[in-house]
Structure 1
Amino acid sequence: MRHLLLALLLSTTTLPAAQPWRVVGDEQFAPYSFVTDADDTPHGLDVELVDAVLREAGVAYEIRLYPWERVKRMLDRGEVQMAFQFAGTPQRQEQYELVGPLRSGSTVFMTTAKTAISDWQTLDDFAPYVIGQVRGYVYEEHFDRADLARDTSAQNPRQLVSMLLAGRIDIIVGDRVQLQYFVHEQRAQDQVRILPRPLIQMPRFVAFAKGDIERARQFSEALVRLRNAGKLDEIQQRWAP
């Protein structure tokens, strides 16, 4: 019996520890997620929100930020367990187990004085213009499928704003807070304007591989607890402009 107890004790003490979740997000999505020139430490509102939920869930994890196209590939290939921040479109819902929303943001159109458009009622109003958008991003189902002239050469929103300011495109589309962040970065607030009507109020989700129900459940339950306790609002207030 003593030998049996010893064997059981040894077997339990040598079990491998649970592997930490590998969590990835967009490195060029300031102020929501970004890295600085000083180091590759993740910063941003969404980074803090995800960090708080994972700590509440009690799981081991590590967060890293990469270019958006790589983020999607890593999740698709099973190289990571979770990724953020995905738009809640039907396309994404088919691809992944989406959990959230983590937060919501207003998707808007930004332009300059060079264009005559002052607002829009239907997507046909954009027919005379070239609209810039980030390659690989999805925005809103009807807009994504509309027959419009598009420039998708931008690799990230910062580059998109630079292209607008340089006059290479007529209009750009993106998250209001984020576009304003990059405009302020270039001290160009007086050179741009946002059309009054937004495209959509877009919820942002975290994503797990299709079928990864258990991890999705763990994150979802922790997210609900923090939201009900007002902790997520506290984090968002710290990042309010």
Structure 2
Amino acid sequence: MRSLLLCLLLLLGPAAWAEEWRVVGDEQFAPYSFVSLDSDTPQGLDVELVRAVMDEAGLAYSLRLYPWERVKRMLDRGEVAMAFQFAGTPERMAQYELVGPIRTGSTVFMTRRALAIQDWQELEDLQPHVIGQVRGYSYAADFDQADLARDTSAQNPRQLVSMLLAGRIDIIIGDRTQLLYFVREQRAQEQVRILPRPLVEMPRYVAFAKGDTARAEQFGAALQRLKDAGKLASIYKRWE
């Protein structure tokens, strides 16, 4: 019996010997990571990217999505091996071992078309307005530290967009692709406008606990192989 088990493990390869990685991401970050109403299967661009890298590395893993605050707590407490998708801010880089980026997104300000807000040049230009942002999110170091009026009552980006459309707030901040995804979901494209000047082009990373360099290097090497071979392009294109 023992010999049979050993043969099976050899046939399955290195992943059979390794401990399964618990991988978690944000459940409210469509179209990057989300769970559809009719299925509890994780979906989205970032989900597919992470799966592709894990498969390339030959690693055994489980992937689940949770509320963002829980994702961070699970990683901080050592309950999971890896989490995604973290903004590449100095604060996050000091806190975790970040690997990537797996992609880059544009962080923008969105307002209602009916309002007279045209654009901004300095963050101080936004001081007359209350800016809605998702609680627990990090956007860019200068914005996060700026002396601005903020509404952090939104638990996720979908709720943030709903607050804007309901007139509860005048400006919201977020990933351009994601905000537009939720606007289209409510068929409200004609009601909103994105300010021309983006805040930042923000790279997105996967995160490991500080000091977990072995797993970080393992994931990073597999990610680089896929990038060098051009094998991630088809995933990006599918979610354009």
Q: Name the CA distance, whole Å, in 1 between partners of 2:109 and 2:115.
A: 12
Q: CA deviation at 1:152?
A: 0.3
Q: CA deviation at 1:117?
A: 1.5
Instruction: Tell me which amino acid in the other structure corresponds to 2:21.
Output: W
Cα deviation, 1:88-136, whole Å, max 9, x if unaligned, reads: 0000001100000000000000001343220100001101111000000
Aligned partners of 2:114 and 2:191 also within 8 Å = no
Q: For 2:116, what is the secondary structure of its paired residue?
A: coil
Who is 1:76 aligned against? 76
Give the aligned CA root-mean-square deviation in angstroms. 1.8
TM-score of the two chains, using structure 2 as the length reference: 0.93
Moved over 4 A (4+): none
TM-score of the two chains, using structure 1 as the length reference: 0.93
Who is 1:200 aligned against? 200
Who is 1:147 aligned against? 147
Q: Percent identity?
A: 74
Unaligned runs of 5+ in 2: 10-15
Aligned length: 233
Q: Does the alignment pair 1:221 with 2:221?
A: yes
Q: Name the CA distance, whole Å, in 1 between partners of 2:113 and 2:21.
A: 47
Q: CA deviation at 1:40?
A: 1.4
Which deviates more from structure 2 when the two are superposed, residues 103-112 or residues 225-234?
Answer: 225-234
Q: Does the alignment pair 1:129 with 2:129?
A: yes
Q: For 1:231, what is the secondary structure of its paired residue?
A: coil
Q: CA deviation at 1:18?
A: 2.3
Q: Name the CA distance, whole Å, in 1 between partners of 2:17 and 2:234.
A: 33
Q: Name the CA distance, whole Å, in 1 between partners of 2:124 and 2:77.
A: 38
Who is 2:164 aligned against? 164
Cα deviation, 1:146-187, whole Å, max 9, x if unaligned, reads: 111100000000000000000111100000000000000000
Instruction: Tell me which amino acid in the other structure corresponds to 1:130.
Output: V
Q: CA deviation at 1:38?
A: 1.4
Larger Rg: 1
Instruction: Tell me which amino acid in the other structure corresponds to 1:122.
Output: E
Q: CA deviation at 1:36?
A: 1.1
Q: Name the CA distance, whole Å, in 2 between partners of 1:161 and 1:46.
A: 21
Unaligned runs of 5+ in 1: 1-6
Q: For 1:181, what is the secondary structure of its paired residue?
A: helix
Q: For 1:137, what is the secondary structure of its paired residue?
A: coil
Q: For 1:102, what is the secondary structure of its paired residue?
A: strand
